């Protein structure tokens, strides 16, 4: 029997067009790319919204609402927003009272099934920039921010999508999840990179290390491979063999990617099916999560 695999489309990210020229920026572009990604096989769409004048991320719930409603008006998908990237020059303006204010406003209106919640902080520096003296930045998720996100997730029954940049994120995330027993189960999104000097490269041994730790601290949780500035194609067969889900799209792709989000998702679907996986729709993802809680 084939393994059920979720595919998530990460359609733009925080980069702006200098690193990823093909990303959608305006709401109509985001909606069109999100719909195309779902039609290509994604059950989940992750997105960032932008100030079109500055070309920078702007975490305004009303902009997110327009994007989410536009996608969901045409296709059934789990569509979820990011959070401000505190410490980065790419994005970080907080609109409203706090870092999760936009997620709470969306959840109140039935527009947020999932939300980003990153249980840890780490240094972000590119391998390419190190010889030129690039300092990078610290991606900051202080404990009070993490708990704020968990309180929002628990209050509104939003599934946290944990980005796991380092193994300590898994340990902290699992320990904190136990402290919020009414919070829906987190998804552990394992972040690999070829571009950034954090975490693991996209190798089978690295996936196995993550899975060994998860077996100890969060054995029932769903797991997904993802990343930034990375080619994950070679890791997909290993992921499918272990029942691990897959993310693809222009946020995660190597910088300067020329293919569209729809093409990247279609390629991920082919790789999943070639490895013996069965790509599922949003209704099946929701059913799977409900059975785990």
pLDDT at 242: 98
Task: Assess contact for 149 and 83: CB atoms under 8 A.
Answer: yes
Classify residue 61 by burial, with Cβ atoms within 10 Å: 0-12, 13-18, 19+: buried
Q: Hey, CA dihedral for 112, 250, 119, 144, is it positive or negative?
A: negative
- pLDDT grade for 10, boundaries at 50, 70 and 90: very high
Burial (Cβ within 10 Å: 0-12, 13-18, ≥19) of residue 117 = buried
Decide if 96 contacts 102 (C-beta within 8 A): yes
pLDDT at residue 97 greater than cutoff 60: no
- The residue ranges of every structural domain in the chain are 3-292
Can you tell me the distance from the alpha carbon of 180 to that of 155, in angstroms, rounded to the nearest whole number? 10
Query: With contact defined as beta carbons under 8 Å apart, do 291 and 7 qualify?
Result: no
- In angstroms, how far is the first alpha carbon of the chain from the final one? 24
- Rounded CA-CA distance 262/268 in Å is 10
Question: Coil, strand or helix: which one is 78?
Answer: strand
Compute the CA torsion angle 98, 104, 109, 110 (nearest 10 deg): 150
Q: Looking at residue 91, what is its pLDDT? A: 60
Query: What dihedral do alpha carbons 154, 159, 165, 170 form, nearest 10°?
Result: 60
Render pLDDT for 202-261 as a digit per residue (tens, 0 to 9).
999 999 999 999 999 999 999 999 999 999 999 999 999 999 999 999 999 999 999 999
User: How many Å separate Cα 164 from the centre of its chain?
Assistant: 10
pLDDT surpasses 60 at 113:
yes
The pLDDT of residue 278 is above 90:
yes
CATH class of the region 3-292: alpha beta
* Predicted pLDDT at 252: 98
Phi and psi (nearest 5°) for 164? Answer: -100, 90
Question: Residue range 116-126: average pLDDT?
Answer: 96
Q: 146-198, pLDDT tens digit by residue?
A: 999 999 999 999 999 999 999 999 999 999 999 999 999 999 999 999 999 99
Q: Please give the pLDDT value at position 115.
A: 98
- 30 versus 99: which is more confidently predicted? 30
Q: What b-and-e string marks burial along 185-209, b requiring 16 or more CB atoms within 10 Å of the CB?
A: bbbbbbbbbbbbebbbebeeebbee
């Amino acid at each position: 029997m084939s393994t059920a695999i979720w595919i998530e489309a990460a359609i733009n990210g925080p980069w702006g067009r200098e690193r990823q020229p093909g990303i959608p920026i305006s709401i109509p572009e985001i909606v069109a790319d999100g719909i195309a990604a779902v039609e290509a096989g994604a059950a989940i769409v992750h997105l960032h919204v932008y100030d079109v004048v500055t070309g920078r991320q702007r975490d305004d719930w009303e902009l997110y609402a327009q994007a989410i409603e536009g996608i969901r008006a045409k296709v059934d998908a789990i569509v979820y927003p990011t959070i401000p990237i505190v410490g980065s020059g790419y994005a970080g303006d907080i609109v409203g009272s706090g870092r999760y204010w936009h997620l709470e406003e969306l959840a109140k209106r039935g527009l947020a099934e999932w939300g980003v919640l990153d249980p840890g902080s780490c240094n972000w520096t590119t391998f390419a920039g190190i010889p030129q003296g690039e300092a990078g930045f610290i991606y900051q998720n202080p404990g009070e921010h993490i708990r704020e996100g968990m309180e929002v997730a628990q209050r509104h029954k939003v599934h946290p999508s944990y980005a796991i940049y380092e193994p300590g994120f898994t340990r902290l995330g699992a320990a904190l999840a136990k402290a919020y027993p009414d919070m829906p189960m987190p998804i552990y999104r394992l972040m690999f990179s070829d571009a950034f000097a954090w975490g693991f490269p996209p190798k089978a041994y690295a996936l196995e290390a993550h899975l060994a730790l998860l077996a100890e601290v969060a054995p029932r949780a769903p797991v997904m491979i993802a990343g930034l500035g990375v080619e994950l194609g070679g890791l997909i067969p290993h992921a499918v063999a272990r029942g691990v889900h897959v993310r693809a799209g222009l946020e995660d792709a190597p910088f300067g990617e020329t293919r569209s989000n729809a093409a990247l998702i279609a390629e991920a679907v082919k790789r999943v099916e070639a490895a013996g996986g069965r790509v599922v729709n949003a209704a099946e993802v929701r059913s799977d999560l409900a059975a785990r809680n």
